[in-house]
Amino acid sequence: MSPLFHAEQIGSLMRPVDLLAVRSAAGTSTYSVLTETELQKATEDAITNVVKKQLELGIRLITSGEYERDKFYSGFFEHLEGMEVVKDIPLDQGYRTNFPTLRTLKSLGIGTRDSVVATGKIRHTHSAYLSEWEALCRLLPEDKWKECKLTMPPVTHIHMQMAVGSAYKSSAYKSSAYASDKEYFEDLAAAYRAEFQTLYDAGLRSIQIDDPCLTYFVTNEFRSGCVADDIDPDELLDKYIWAHNHCLAEKPADLHIGLHLCRVNMAGSTHIISGSYERISKKMFTELAYDTYYLEYDTDRAGDFEPLRHLPIGKNVVLGVVSTKTTELEGLDELMQRVNSAAEVISRGQGREVSEVIADSLGVSPQCGFASMSLGGGPRDDHGGHVGKASPGQATC
């Protein structure tokens, strides 16, 4: 499946000032369900305006900006039967050793975090995101639905963060619910397949899975934490690849599902990790069953394009060469040069012409979403307007 568009966006957009004010007054939390009348109206108005702006500017794929959500991963896990929101989990008790996000949170003076734990068997009893998709559809003629995208968190999001065998009730699942990771992921993947099918039946044709934490496997910090927890990091990566693919096992042939990887999006160009994709690139490109990979490539912290040599024919890369962390616009010549450089690496690996690779397998985008959480939204001018391509001021994964 070739790229749907050669110029894309990642999905999350800056929340407007009035929406942020209403949301702050509502006191929403990480896993909140936004049902209050005033908040719902403010959300709907903001989505209507941002969809209109995307249409005017010719931006594709069209999204709601994730305006319905408090954070990019809100809304899925907490809607599943058998899963329970656990609030204020101490970082030192409930999470993996050396999990990179925790280092950043602690530096900000944050000592606890909420999560979602499987306390019973996981079942998909109703759609988490159908209402979001239907709200977007109502703003567009049906012939535009194929130009829309909806984002979802990864199947591994909770499991990758939570402590293993913790006495605290914060492991990804309670022992009374599941006896093994395999059982847990089998039921969770079944819930993903059900959600995919529901959205597909309602007309959606493009889904983006946001998995910023997958890049943690390139770091010695995360891998040493796995070893300290008596876990082989390479075996854990294999398990996560299996879990991702289990979600995709029954997807309709014309449902495009891509995987977005970044190094976390924070204001002031603050990021959580650095490192080339090289350490995971061969497994990522050849074993994961995604159609498209949305990759961060706006700065040197992502490394060079050499890992792209492992991209098989028939898969796509959307190069995140435009930054959301700075107000400075990239030059067109610079962007073209970088695309050509990436294409040369891919063409060498695939034995194809550079022109074929560019035509069939490459796109460009911002390196991440512009505001992957409700709070934040980047610097503003004296009149309350956004001054540039900034992103939120808190960790987003």
**pLDDT per residue as tens digits for the range 327-357:** 888 999 999 999 999 999 999 999 999 999 9
Residue 385 lies in a domain: no
Closest CA to 380 of 8, 7, 14, 49: 14
Amino acid identity at 19: L
- Position 379 pLDDT exceeds 60: no
pLDDT at 227 over 70: yes
Does residue 362 form part of some domain?
Answer: yes
The parent domain of residue 126 ranges over 17-366
Of the pLDDT bands very low, low, confident and very high (cuts 50, 70, 90), residue 164 is confident
Q: Is residue 381 part of a domain?
A: no
Is there a domain that residue 4 lies in? no
- Span 40-65, average pLDDT: 94
Name residues whose C-beta falls within 8 Å of residue 336's C-beta, 6 or more positions apart in sequence. Answer: none
102: preceding bond cis by omega (within 30 degrees): no
Structural domain count, the chain? 1
Exposed, middle or buried by CB within 10 Å (0-12, 13-18, 19+), for 267?
middle
- Judge whether 376 lies within some domain: no
Q: In this predicted structure, what is the pLDDT of residue 264?
A: 67
Which amino acid does the sequence have at 33?
Answer: V
Task: Indicate whether 316 belongs to any domain.
Answer: yes
pLDDT confidence of residue 204: 98
Q: What is the CATH number of the domain that holds 319?
A: 3.20.20.210
Residue 171, pLDDT > 60, answer yes
Give the C-alpha separation, 120 to 83, whole Å. Answer: 7
How much is the average pLDDT of 258-262? Answer: 94
**Mean pLDDT to the nearest integer, 259-276:** 71
- Rounded-to-integer distance, Cα 79 and Cα 237, Å: 26
pLDDT at position 166, please?
A: 55
pLDDT surpasses 90 at 101: no
Specify if 290 maps to a domain: yes
| Segment 73-84, tens digit of pLDDT | 999 999 999 999
Q: How many helices (H) and strands (E) does the chain have?
A: 12, 8
- Mean pLDDT, residues 310-324: 94
Q: Among 116, 10, 121, 6, which residue's Cα sits nearest to residue 62?
A: 10
Nearest to 378, CA basis, from 320, 303, 327, 318? 327
Task: Tell me the whole-structure pTM to 2 decimals.
Answer: 0.91
Higher model confidence: residue 257 or residue 394?
257
- Is 9 among the domain residues? no
